[in-house]
Structure 1
């Protein structure tokens, strides 16, 4: 029996009293909980910092890296070198000459860049030996037939601006004469005979000419043009007088004065085709048509001729006679 004097506790109070009595390992559990909460806060802080940095990198523009410091004297030296290279390129373009290689008391290589009309770039050069003060050409690259000795023999020392400039002038004249000759050759085609030496200092043109009076016969003209090594216009103009009437050669020579003023093709056209002089060039049109290659003949089928038909037809063969059969049998059995 319960003690009637003792007051009975209510159930909620009993629960509270029991809840106030903590177990012995409660402190250890609380410490673990606090540690876990602290780790969670640290991780949340790290995540926040990472997101913050990512937003900063998106909003803030990338800063350019500072250029490496270059000393002013280095900049001045580089600018001076660049200006010298540009000046050398301009000098090469204007003069057509450039020093490719140089070594004191050993050698010097001089290059010439040609500027005439050509599909490919044309260059020539000299290698000058400078050992012992000799200044002699050991190697060279020059066009075929170029008269190198005629230019060099005028100078005592080849390694001078005057001599090198004269070589350049002679090369320009060489290619100019070749171009004029090819243009005249294209103009006259097969109606004249042309000849030149390799460097173009001597040119011969043979053609037919006659006066404005068509009744007079044409004469065979052989025009001779002589150039100096530096010239682009003929120095001496002459006409062979063999087979020509008296005074015709002098008249033709006086008519060719324009060759000393204009290019070869233009001068010939004005002198002998445009009628400025007493004699004109005879265009041999009939000869041009005769020398054209004949056209290939078109093959046509031949007409059928029954009298000239060799086709084998069995029906046309005649039957062998009895005498022929007996002769064949006799030959066969006789052989057996």
Structure 2
């Protein structure tokens, strides 16, 4: 009972989201490391190509490069630590480190939601109102949209950290997850986490609903405009592009929504760990492929960059 009254948090948590079998941990290390290297290669490549090619200095590619930078930051908040834990005998993280990881994870994940909504708005204006594009998506507007995405991330992360600070930990300190996240921390709290769960559900749900609605409405208007075009080839290309974008967005939003849906059973926690791998590793790896490598202008810019490299004097 004295421990229950003591609201001082444990000095460290044990991350128990990994299998105890060393063979499984070694396989996960290879899988996660390979995926992380692909993520870095794809997103750094996008940043370099957009930065070096003057023809890509447009709002759309400004958003793409911003997404690549955000994906690198988002995944790097989680993955390097996760890889080191897979090799470590004791997978422990201190309380301050845990809250720091939670904070930056919330910043970048929330900012990505709003940035994806800004990218959908950019495509909506470009296709549905091309005459207003220069006015609605000016350089200043682009900077404000990206800055607003980060501001939303900072505000949301501050709320998440406040929710975590309300929790006390006086029992087992084993977190059933790969890293520090809200729901797994609530699951081991010795105080009633109901209020924190409700507040987190409202905050996360509001962010996902607002940005998800903006994306769906934008793409619905784009598809409606495309259907009115006489070119069958243009319709097929637009449908292919929109379906690819929406599939990645659905994967990201769906896995986030599942993680914060409030499920607390052991089975749901295991599924939550799987979902977290999708939005911290898989989706950031797919983004350069879907948004960049399938884009003819990006391919042409990459060809020009490689051509300049091969033609440079030795």
Tell me the TM-score range normalised by the shorter chain: under 0.3
Structure (1 or 2) with the greater strand fraction: 1
Report which structure shows greater RCO (CA 8 Å, sep ≥6): 2
Larger-Rg structure: 1
- TM-score where L is the length of structure 1: 0.20
- TM-score where L is the length of structure 2: 0.21
